[in-house]
Structure 1
Amino acid sequence: MEYPLIYDDQLIIGVKSDDGYSLKYESNDDVKLNLEIFNQKKTIVIDSSNSGTGRLKRDIYNPILKVLLEKYNVQHDYHYTESADSISQIARNLPSGNLLVLIISGDTSVNEFLNSLSGEGGELTIVNIPFGTGNSLALSLEDNELTAIAKLFTSTPVHEFNLYDISLPPNCWELKQSARVKQMPTSYKFIVVFSWGFHASLVADSDTPELRKFGLERFKMAAMKNLQSPHQYPGSTFIDKEEYGGPYNYWLITPSRKFEPTFEISPDGSIFDDSLFLISFGVSVDTMSVMQQVYDKGNHIKNPDVIYNKVQNQEIILKFENLPSDVRRFCIDGLIIEVPPSGEIKLKSTGNTINNWNIFIM
């Protein structure tokens, strides 16, 4: 893959191959680059080392991003994550002010960063250089890792970054490979998906060292495992007192259009709109048939057995009671949590502000 990154006295092209990333240069006299955003903001780079399949032959900072930033004298702080809580520590210790944060990561790392923000706050613009597996956020922005970098050197507009609040019951736990890691707060934000049922189960089951090395294919492998032993997810969803009852097979809330390049879960979705979409179906519906429709340009929304509901300025409430242990896993932007047997979860749009920070995205 080749993509033009910068137009100056030279045309600089980013190249992706089996051996990694590189730059090549060609003469060009037509278009000048724009460095205005770097003059206005302090630049910080966060390189999430474990996103996707890791960094073997996938280092984009040293061969491309660092070279370009240094070429144009852009001073920046670089953070390479060394541990599971590195991103949270970076977010908690950000200086206040007007910041440009380049996150080389997938959706989960962006979520973790936002939920860990603290301090005096300010204005924060995020550029997500997608290095995860699903990369729904980047798909919503129509970016790959090279086009995301190219935006930095053009006059790309900046948008408010819509965030969505989840009110969780007490005693929810973050899970890592089925083990409880830490207790979740009762208020948490998500950016691309909150799910239960089949979707949450396949994300959870795919998060093993054995499967992560397969990249995007790991989701399909975990999905086949879940299809062999389907579960029922009993609960009821309320939107302005209108009930969408279970038991469910598939249940999720998202503002996003795609979870994979060809997996069009919500054809009307847009992260530039603060609307959410409820997509669900019951246990009597054939899961594989609906998934094939999702891959077929989102044709599942025409299926009468599938609930596809746009939610604007309304609170979504999910209630559940006496859940067995094997159906208590939920997915928040790739993060897996375990809920208690009974409780309720509330979701709503909360704008682009979190912990004294106004959040924007390029």
Structure 2
Amino acid sequence: EVDVVVSTKSGVGLSLQFWQSVLQPLWTVIAEQSSDADGRESPNVLVTEDAQSVRKFARRVGGSEGKSAGEIAESRTIILLSGDGGVVDLINGSSHDESVLEQRQLLLALLPLGTGNALFHSLHKPLGKTEDASPLVLGLRTLFSGVPANLPLFRASFSPGSRIVKFTPTTEEPLGDDASSNPLHLEKEETRVSHLFGAVVASYGFHSSIVYESDTPEYRVHGDKRFGMVAQELLRESHPYNAQVDVRHPSSSSASQWETIPGDKHAYVLVTPLSNLERTFTISPASKPLDGKLRLVHFGTIGGERTLDVMMKAYDEGKHIGMKWDDGHEVRYEEVDEVKVTVLEEDERWRKVCIDGTIVDIPQGGELSVRKEEKSGFNILV
């Protein structure tokens, strides 16, 4: 079976247009020319209606709705016209029960119609250097001629009392006639959570604060400009995030061997299996597509000017790696099996962690733990 998921709110909202104008006609032509009459039958199409559409779909096809292993389709291809958020919703909406994982064969295909498209750009990085083609053209080539490979995941676990935080539109009408005030009509929604699965990034500090604050009503009203505005404000404040960061390395002979990163003030703690968070933002240059290795990028409280310099170097093919300063600060970069962040902040503003774009509030003294997931249950076309 083939499903096409059209995420209408991803990126700048071009997914439906791309499906109707490009992929659907292309699919029809290929189906007409295919010698295997049943090989290219019309796909099932899901056009998302709200933020829960993909998760509901995932529960239905991914074995979370109480279906027995025998009732789950043996083989299914899901074509995502979305950004990283569609992948995240699909992964977390599906069952991760071992009996289901053994039976389920979900194959994902990505067409990059989100904002950052970290997973797509990291998987296609080798092609990006040799092919003079747009990301969507590369995505179409992979869809029709790619091969399946296991998609590595990580598991992020949270202390009791942790909550997913997001802002959702209210049903109330705005008081004024000014349409620009509409984005302000959002309400904060919190949901208890014990763990999430991810394929892109887990972070605490500067990165997670940008993701969280740019989604608040105060900044949403500014549209796409909000990301730069939030970053500038956070650089100006240069808040020292109060936390303890512990690392377990692959070379550790025992699961109990942890190293504590010196100091209790941090600026940037980021764990990822990917090389790129955006097409030109290379946060982890040593990461190879689908190698399944987690890497940590970390630096302490180095101030706004240096932090900006680190970010700019990441846009310059990952040249931030190895940066050091005379006062002993450096950009720390290493492969890890697991990272634990104990959040010690009193102010909830500085207690937010980011898992593939989802924001989780950790209670004071609570913990985020990130480790590799042994079985993912997902393949992806590359």
- Alpha-carbon offset, residue 280 of structure 1: 1.4
Q: Distance in 2 between matches of 1:192 and 1:238?
A: 20
The answer to whether the aligner puts 1:79 opposite 2:79 as a matched pair is: no
5+ residue gaps, structure 1, are 1-41
2:25 to 56, 67, 70: 67
2:105 counterpart residue number: 123
1:191 to 199, 211, 218: 199
- Contact kept in structure 1, 2:164 and 2:193, CA below 8 Å: no
- Contact kept in structure 2, 1:162 and 1:271, CA below 8 Å: no
Q: Distance in 1 between matches of 2:222 and 2:93?
A: 28
Amino acid at match of 1:299: K
- Contact kept in structure 2, 1:52 and 1:131, CA below 8 Å: yes
Q: TM-score, normalised by structure 1?
A: 0.80
- Alpha-carbon offset, residue 201 of structure 1: 1.2
State how 1:210-289 maps to structure 2 within 5 Å: 210-212=221-223, 214=224, 218-240=226-248, 241-245=258-262, 246-285=264-303, 286-289=306-309
1:114-159 Cα distance to aligned partner (Å, 9 max, x none): 11013955111111111111111111122722211222222x2221
The answer to whether the aligner puts 1:140 opposite 2:122 as a matched pair is: yes
- Contact kept in structure 1, 2:246 and 2:259, CA below 8 Å: yes
Q: Distance in 1 between matches of 2:289 and 2:188?
A: 31
- Alpha-carbon offset, residue 322 of structure 1: 4.4
- Alpha-carbon offset, residue 248 of structure 1: 0.9
Secondary structure of 2:370's partner? strand
Q: Distance in 2 between matches of 1:103 and 1:358?
A: 13
1:250-293 Cα distance to aligned partner (Å, 9 max, x none): 11111111112221111111341111111111113421121122
Secondary structure of 1:84's partner? coil
- Alpha-carbon offset, residue 211 of structure 1: 4.2
- Alpha-carbon offset, residue 358 of structure 1: 4.1
Q: Which is helix-richer, 1 or 2? A: 2
2:335 counterpart residue number: 311
Q: CA RMSD in A?
A: 2.2
Q: TM-score, normalised by structure 2?
A: 0.76
How many residues in Structure 1 have an aligned counterpart in Structure 2? Answer: 312
1:286-341 Cα distance to aligned partner (Å, 9 max, x none): 211211221222111121233433224x2222122343211011111111221111
Amino acid at match of 1:112: D
5+ residue gaps, structure 2, are 32-39, 62-71, 129-134, 168-185, 249-257
Q: Distance in 2 between matches of 1:53 and 1:360?
A: 24
- Contact kept in structure 1, 2:156 and 2:355, CA below 8 Å: no
Secondary structure of 1:347's partner? strand
Amino acid at match of 1:275: K
1:302 counterpart residue number: 322
| Change over 3 Å in CA distance of 1:251–1:346 after alignment to 2 | same
2:37 counterpart residue number: none
Q: Distance in 2 between matches of 1:316 and 1:63?
A: 44
1:238-258 Cα distance to aligned partner (Å, 9 max, x none): 123111143111111111111
- Alpha-carbon offset, residue 232 of structure 1: 1.7
- Contact kept in structure 1, 2:12 and 2:114, CA below 8 Å: yes
The answer to whether the aligner puts 1:342 opposite 2:365 as a matched pair is: yes
The answer to whether the aligner puts 1:51 opposite 2:69 as a matched pair is: no
Amino acid at match of 1:201: S
Q: Distance in 1 between matches of 2:226 and 2:75?
A: 38
